[in-house]
Amino acid sequence: MDFKDIVKKRRSFRKFTEDPIAPEELQTILRAALMSPTSKSCRSWEFIVVDDKDMLYKISRCKAAGSEFIEAAPLAIVVLGNAENDDVWVEDASIAAVSMQYQATELGLGSCWAQVRKRMMADGTQSDDILRMLLGYSNSLSAVCIVAFGHPSIERKEQDESKLKWENVHIYEKPE
Ligand SMILES: Cc1cc2nc3c(=O)[nH]c(=O)nc-3n(C[C@H](O)[C@H](O)[C@H](O)COP(=O)(O)O)c2cc1C
């Protein structure tokens, strides 16, 4: 598949079959993250792969709403940034996350991003603190998102070329 087709095919998938992600597919997905660009090439992100059913359920409940779909995924990757040695850790972690999503699309897999940073439970507990408690990562790391991966159990339409917001693109013209 050309990259042109991959970007058209990529949609958020939240419903998956029971089929697991093959080890080689997982490695290819992680490879895309580890090859993604980072500021000053610091590569300080970290990734926690979760395929344990109980833990998938627990992390799917790390915020008040919007992450429940992780429960039914065969695998999820928690994407962490290191604010101590990367001033643009959010950007670096986000680029890695989306790189994995495009790679998953190329492999014929579905994925969906669940936002963690700035999200919380109804009682105000930060979602990142819940994940840190569940997964045991250090205080220097913070989760940006969890990306769930799996074999889609539903079809989704490709991106609609006619609905692209070309009006949001501005071409600078030098004043005469
Ligand atoms: C920064 C970011 C945060 C997102 N957070 C969530 C989320 O918490 N839960 C969710 O179900 N989808 C989440 N999504 C997926 C978006 O809802 C989805 O990308 C958007 O609706 C467009 O649909 P598409 O990905 O199928 O093109 C997030 C996407 C991004 C980029």
Q: Which pLDDT tens digit goes with each residue over 103-138? A: 999 999 999 999 999 999 999 999 999 999 999 999
How many structural domains are present in the chain? 1
3-state SS assignment for residue 32: helix
In this structure, the residues whose C-beta lies within 6 A of any atom of ligand 1 are 11-12, 14, 66-67, 112-115
47-65 burial code (b ≥16 CB/10 A, e <16): bbebeeeeebebbbebbee
pLDDT at 28: 99
Residue 173 is assigned to a structural domain of this protein = no
Residue 175 is assigned to a structural domain of this protein = no
For residue 55, give the CATH number of its domain.
3.40.109.10
Proportion of the chain above pLDDT 70, given as a percent: 100
Q: Which pLDDT tens digit goes with each residue over 26-59? A: 999 999 999 999 999 999 999 999 999 999 999 9
The mean pLDDT value for 60-74 works out to: 98
3-state SS assignment for residue 94: helix
122-134 burial code (b ≥16 CB/10 A, e <16): eeeebbbebbbeb
pLDDT at 45: 98
Q: How far is the CA of 115 from the centre of ligand 1 (A)?
A: 8
Q: How far is the CA of 13 from the centre of ligand 1 (A)?
A: 10
